[in-house]
Amino acid sequence: MDLLNLARGPLLATSVLIFVLGMLWRAVGLVRRPSKLASSAPRRTHVQGAVWATVLRHMLPRTGTRPSPTLATLNPYFYHLGLAFIVFGYAPHIAFLHRHLGVSWPALPDAVMYLAAGVTIISLLVALAMRLMDPTLRRISSADDYISWGLLFLVIFTGMALIDRPSSAYAAQGFSADPTRLAIHLMSLELLLVWFPFGKLFHTVSWFFGRAQFGAFMARRGVRA
């Protein structure tokens, strides 16, 4: 079995299985965490609206903490939105999901994807520089932060290294001109999938639970979160 078939076969299946089971395990753990029973009477009984309002409100920069938007505030939006464009807008990625999940949608133009990838790479490098240069961020950072950053950057970097023709050619053929480079890209993705449920990247799920719980707690007290 050559490297590409290994990456497309056993390694992909194993990494996806670990990812799915790990995400379920962490999500169930969040839902089943014991909570302290409230001893006071609720000031508000219907909290669903407040929960969703809190979730949506905390996706935007908080007002009143800084006089104007700063790089530290805006940079996370750059790489989160850039990653969303890369994963869900690039034709080969959509074709990959269609082959394995049977779902597809129109792809974005290559120029848009290259711009999104460039912005994401620069934004991730800025985030790393800020973490290394800021004394507080550097002190509170753990190996988890650097492993998560490294694996994410590796996936994007190895993906960019594949580009030598229009994306429509990749989507149609399902492989690049260099199978070894494609295998390396797939294996970097598989490493990310294995790490994802057990590192800080799990915040893509846990942030929703945290914001929803906070919104419900504050709404019960009659406070706008």
**pLDDT for position 120:** 94
- Domain with 98 in it: 3-19+70-220
- Asked which of 41-50, 71-80, 114-123, 152-161 is least confident by mean pLDDT, the reply is 41-50
pLDDT higher at 137 or 154:
154
Residue 61 counted as domain residue: no
pLDDT of 225 over the 60 cut: no
Question: Tokens in use for 143?
Answer: 């190996």
Q: Which residue has the tokens 């903490």?
A: 65
In a domain? residue 64: no
- pLDDT recorded at residue 185: 93
Q: Tell me whether residue 200 is in a domain.
A: yes
- Residue 181, classified by CB atoms within 10 Å of its CB into exposed (0-12), middle (13-18) or buried (19+), is middle
Q: What is the mean pLDDT of residues 164-179?
A: 68
Regarding predicted confidence, which is higher, 154 or 27? Answer: 154
Who wins on pLDDT, 13 or 164?
13
Phi, psi of 176 (to 5 degrees): -100, 180
Phi and psi torsions of 35, nearest 5°: -120, 150
* 46 occurs within a structural domain: no
How many structural domains comprise the chain? 1
Per-residue model confidence (pLDDT) at position 35: 65
Angle, alpha carbons 193-97-52 (nearest 5°): 70
The CATH number of residue 101's host domain is 1.20.950
Instruction: Tell me the C-alpha distance between 45 and 139, whole Å.
Output: 42
Q: Are 117 and 86 in contact (CB under 8 A)?
A: yes
Whether residue 56 is contained in a domain is answered as no
pTM for the predicted model, two decimal places: 0.79
Asked if residue 38 belongs to a domain, the reply is no
**Percent share of the chain, pLDDT over 90:** 34
Q: Does any domain span residue 36?
A: no
| Of residues 116 and 30, more confidently modeled | 116
Lowest average pLDDT, out of 31-35, 79-83, 138-142, goes to: 31-35
pLDDT of residue 215: 61
Is 125 inside a domain boundary? Answer: yes
Residue 115 belongs to what H/E stretch?
Answer: helix 110-133
The Cα–Cα gap between 134 and 138 comes to 6
DSSP assignment letter at 225: -
Residue 180 binned pLDDT confidence (cut-offs 50, 70, 90):
confident
- Residue 42 to residue 215: CA distance in whole angstroms: 14
- Do residues 124 and 153 lie in contact, with contact meaning Cβ atoms separated by under 8 Å? yes
